[in-house]
Amino acid sequence: MELEKLQMIIAEVLSLQAEEIKPEFSFIDDLGADSLEIFQIIMGIEEEFDIVIEDEMIKDIDTVEDVLKMINVG
C-alpha cells in the first residue's frame, strides 16, 4: 500500500505513470529527478504519510526503496 501511494506522489511530481516507477529505481539516474523535484517528492511524502524526513536523512535517499524504508520506520 505504501508503494502505491509513493508511486502516485512521484508520478505526479515527475509527470510519469505510477506503474512505471519501480522500487529499485534511482530518483536521479532512472527517474531523472532534479533537486527541486526531489524536494517536492519529500514534501509530498511527509504530508501523505504524516512523517518528518530530517535533512540529514535526505542525503541517504537514492532509490524509491530507500524512501519506503524510511516510511516503514517512521
Question: Any idea which residues carry the catalytic annotation?
Answer: 34
User: How far, in Å, CA of 18 to CA of 13, rounded?
Assistant: 11
Cell matching residue 26? 534511482
Cell matching residue 30? 532512472
User: How far, in Å, CA of 61 to CA of 44, rounded?
Assistant: 15
